[in-house]
Structures are given as C-alpha cells and as structure tokens.
C-alpha cells in the first residue's frame, strides 16, 4: 500500500533522508521509531505529497506521490506533527471547512462529519469551540479530520506527543480501532508507544533505516550479543581467575554487588557455554543465573539510534 524506494531528501547543508526504502502492506499498522531529527517527519511529508524527494520515489496505493499527487491525497489521511487547528471554530464548523477543502461532495459532508466524530469519540463535543478542548480531544479532532474523506491510508506524525498518560492510552486505542480497516503508518520517538500499537517497526536514525521487523524480530536480531551472562554468589575474585583460564574465553567483565558477582563473558571462537557450565558445576559454584546476555528492547533502541555505539559494536562483532 505504501512503497518508498531510495528516498533521499536534502535541505541546505543537511541530508535528512539518506536513501530509505520500505513497504507497508494493506491493513498493516507500522511504526516509524526514531529520535528527534531522524527524518520521520520529512519521510511523512514526502508520502503525503507536501514535499518532493530530492531523489527516489514513493507510491501510495500504486500512485506516484509526485506525478499523481491528487490520487495519493484522495487516499491518504494525514495528521501532521503540530496538528494545526482553527482554535476559534467549533468542531463541526472546522470539519465542514476541512471536508470542503478535501473535496468531499456537499451532499455527503454532514454524514461524513457525523461518522468521523462518532468514530473518534467526539459525538458530545461536536459543537464545542476547539480552543476550549483538552489536548487529548484536540488530537481526536485531528484524527477525525484525517478520516473525513474515508481514506485507505493514515499517516500519523507523533499522534500522542504532549498528551498525558490517560489521553495517550485513549488515543492509542482509537488508532488501533481506526487501523482495523485501514493501513496506518505512525511515527514516534517513544519506544513503548510502537510496541503497544504496531505489529511492525521501522527504526530510523540519521535518515537511515537501521532495523526493521516485529518488536520480537528486532529483539532477536539485535539482542544476540554472543556474550554469556553469568551470576554467581560467593568469592568473586576466585571465580574471575578460574573463568579467565577456561579455554574459549577471550575476556571477562566482572562486577560485584554485595556477594552477588556478575560476569559478562566474551567468547573466543566456539561457544564456550557448555564447557563453562560443566566447569561451574564441578567447581561447586553457587550459580544464580547462566545464559546468553540479553539486552532489553530499550537498550537495542539506544544502540541502533546512537551511531557511535553501533559502529563500536559492529567492530567488536567483526573481531569476534
Ligand atoms: N525545512 C527544513 N529546513 C532545513 N532542515 C530541515 C527542515 N526540516 C527538517 N530539517 C532537518 O532535517 C532533519 C530531519 O528532520 P525531521 O524529518 O523533522 O526529523 P524527525 O521528524 O524524525 O524529528 C533534521 O536534522 C532537521 O533539522
Ligand atoms: Mg518529526
């Protein structure tokens, strides 16, 4: 439904997108996750025909975002990052004005506005002045606007930014609801956000896609560090000395908290796991935990969006 191919976008003195490619299938809810300045808004503005790419191409529902922008706009509902609303207008007036701009035929407008308000939980607020609404309700007005012309695709740029936790949860539920019969691409810089709403994540950093997949797949791809995590109660120094001497162990990082010792073990060549475990049992160590080192999805996000750490990790991995 959405196809971006080698999208490059430069601004004077800066390359905001360095050639990103991705696809979003029909009825998928996909999250664009990345820190501020990663290029999320730029990519979304290209998809919604507000900004031409410097090079590369984007298609929505088969139509080219540059050459067939009218066709694309008809099929896309867009909630921009700042959600610019007319604060002095009533919700229904504003939506009527927006429906006219979007070319919703006059005879359908009343019905479309009612349907959009119903779906976005605005039934009782239809006649309120926008400026008197809470931020959560204003965001609902933005979403109602996005679905006015009944588009197949929704592009939502940081839809929960600035909301309190309750409002966030409500808007999240609403997005999931709207996504049941639509394709959704949403952006956020909050990790927990995408995990809750999206089936698939594209992690974007410095204008590049650095990881892609389900939260589970991303974890599996990136959390495998090849290192072993060992926790032992007792005489830490003696264990450290013994570990250093085990064949297949390249390096041991030892940290201590009370009588609990944690060791992160870098292997040399073959997996020293089985040998280590046998060794630990024979030596009678009080093993609390033993297994592959696990990173949380949070750690992974920090690593992949922080270029220097990523490069360092790649070098470490290349060294084996
Ligand atoms: N209109 C613009 N003129 C110049 N630079 C811009 C403009 N819009 C965005 N940028 C720059 O492009 C990069 C990507 O920005 P943006 O797409 O807004 O990222 P995000 O939405 O992920 O925070 C940033 O470095 C930003 O400063
Ligand atoms: Mg942005």
Query: At 247, which CATH number?
Result: 3.30.70.3100
Q: Same structural domain for residues 232 and 255?
A: yes
Looking at the chain, the whole-number percentage of residues with pLDDT higher than 70 is: 89
What are the tens digits of pLDDT across the range 110-145? 999 999 999 999 999 999 999 999 999 999 999 999
Show the domain range for 263: 226-292
As a whole number, mean pLDDT of residues 47-71 equals 97
Residue 56 has pLDDT above 90, yes or no: yes
Residue 316 has pLDDT above 60, yes or no: no
Query: Does a structural domain hold residue 313?
Result: no
Last residue of a domain, one of 160, 181, 213: 213
What are the tens digits of pLDDT across the range 25-54? 999 999 999 888 899 999 999 999 999 999
Q: What is the mean pLDDT of the chain?
A: 88
Query: Does a structural domain hold residue 304?
Result: no
As a whole number, mean pLDDT of residues 261-282 equals 83
Query: Does a structural domain hold residue 116?
Result: yes
Q: Tell me the best of 7, 9, 11 to mutate to test the pocket of ligand 1, counting ligand atoms within 8 Å of each CB and taking the most.
A: 11
Q: Pairing between strand 183-188 and 29-33?
A: parallel
Query: Does a structural domain hold residue 311?
Result: no
Q: CATH number for the domain including 86?
A: 3.40.50.300
Q: Same structural domain for residues 254 and 198?
A: no
Q: Is the CB of 82 under 6 A from ligand 1?
A: no
Residue 281 has pLDDT above 90, yes or no: no
Last residue of a domain, one of 213, 240, 263: 213
Q: Same structural domain for residues 92 and 208?
A: yes
What are the tens digits of pLDDT across the range 215-250? 777 766 666 667 888 999 988 898 899 888 888 888
CA–CA distance from 1 to each of 12, 25, 53, 117, 255 (Å)?
31, 5, 19, 26, 50
Q: Same structural domain for residues 249 and 103?
A: no
Q: Same structural domain for residues 33 and 63?
A: yes
Residue 151 has pLDDT above 60, yes or no: yes
Q: Same structural domain for residues 94 and 241?
A: no
The CA distance from 307 to 320, in Å, is 20
**Ligand 2 centroid, distance to 167 Cα (angstroms):** 20
Q: Same structural domain for residues 7 and 146?
A: yes
Whether 263 and 200 have beta carbons less than 8 Å apart is answered as no
Confidence grade of residue 7 (pLDDT, cut at 50, 70, 90): very high
Query: Does a structural domain hold residue 310?
Result: no
Nearest bound ligand to the CA of residue 204: 1
Query: Does a structural domain hold residue 158?
Result: yes
C-alpha closest to that of 159 among 78, 86, 103: 78
Q: Report pLDDT for 308.
A: 43
Q: Is the CB of 121 under 6 A from ligand 1?
A: no
- pTM of the predicted model as reported, rounded to 2 decimal places: 0.77
Q: Report pLDDT for 196.
A: 81
Q: Is the CB of 14 under 6 A from ligand 1?
A: yes
Q: Is the CB of 40 under 6 A from ligand 1?
A: yes
Confidence grade of residue 318 (pLDDT, cut at 50, 70, 90): low
Q: Give the other-Cβ count within 10 Å of 320's Cβ.
A: 10
Measured distance between the N- and C-terminal CA atoms of the chain, rounded to whole angstroms: 41
Q: Same structural domain for residues 186 and 242?
A: no
**Ligand 1 centroid, distance to 285 Cα (angstroms):** 54
The domain tally of the chain equals 2
What are the tens digits of pLDDT across the range 282-314? 888 888 888 877 666 666 666 666 644 444 444
Last residue of a domain, one of 170, 190, 213: 213
Query: Does a structural domain hold residue 101?
Result: yes
Q: Is the CB of 45 under 6 A from ligand 1?
A: no
Q: Same structural domain for residues 167 and 130?
A: yes
Query: Does a structural domain hold residue 220?
Result: no
Q: Is the CB of 36 under 6 A from ligand 1?
A: yes
C-alpha closest to that of 52 among 36, 38, 68: 68
Q: Report pLDDT for 320.
A: 45
Q: Same structural domain for residues 174 and 236?
A: no
Q: Same structural domain for residues 109 and 27?
A: yes
Q: Same structural domain for residues 125 and 252?
A: no
């Amino acid at each position: 439904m959405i196809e971006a191919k080698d999208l490059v976008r430069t601004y004077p003195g800066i390359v905001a997108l360095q050639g990103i490619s991705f696809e979003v299938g029909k009825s998928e809810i996909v999250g664009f996750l990345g820190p501020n300045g990663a290029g999320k808004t730029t990519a979304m503005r290209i998809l919604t025909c507000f900004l031409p790419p410097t090079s590369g191409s984007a298609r929505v529902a088969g139509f080219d975002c540059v050459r067939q922008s009218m066709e694309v706009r008809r099929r896309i509902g867009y909630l921009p990052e700042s959600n610019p609303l007319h604060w002095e207008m009533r919700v229904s007036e504003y939506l009527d004005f927006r429906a006219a701009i979007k070319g919703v035929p006059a005879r359908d407008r009343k019905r479309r506005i009612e349907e959009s308000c119903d779906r976005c939980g605005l039934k009782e607020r239809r006649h309120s002045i926008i400026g008197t609404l809470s931020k959560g309700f204003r965001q609902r007005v933005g979403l109602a606007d996005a679905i006015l012309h009944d588009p197949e695709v929704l592009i939502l740029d940081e839809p929960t930014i600035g909301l309190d936790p309750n409002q966030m949860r409500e808007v999240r539920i609403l997005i999931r609801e709207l996504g049941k019969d639509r394709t959704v691409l949403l952006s956020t810089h909050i990790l927990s956000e995408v995990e809750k709403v999206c089936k698939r994540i594209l992690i974007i950093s410095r204008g590049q896609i650095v990881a892609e997949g389900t939260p589970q797949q991303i974890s599996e791809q990136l959390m495998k560090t090849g290192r072993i995590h060992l926790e032992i109660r007792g005489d830490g120094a003696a264990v450290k000395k013994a570990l250093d001497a085990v064949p297949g162990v390249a390096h041991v990082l030892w940290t201590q908290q009370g009588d609990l010792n944690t060791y992160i073990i870098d292997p040399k060549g073959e997996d020293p796991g089985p040998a280590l475990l046998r060794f630990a049992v024979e030596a009678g160590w009080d093993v609390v935990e033993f297994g592959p080192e696990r990173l949380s999805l949070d750690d992974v996000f920090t690593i992949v969006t922080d270029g220097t750490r990523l490069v360092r990790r790649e070098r470490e991995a290349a060294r084996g």
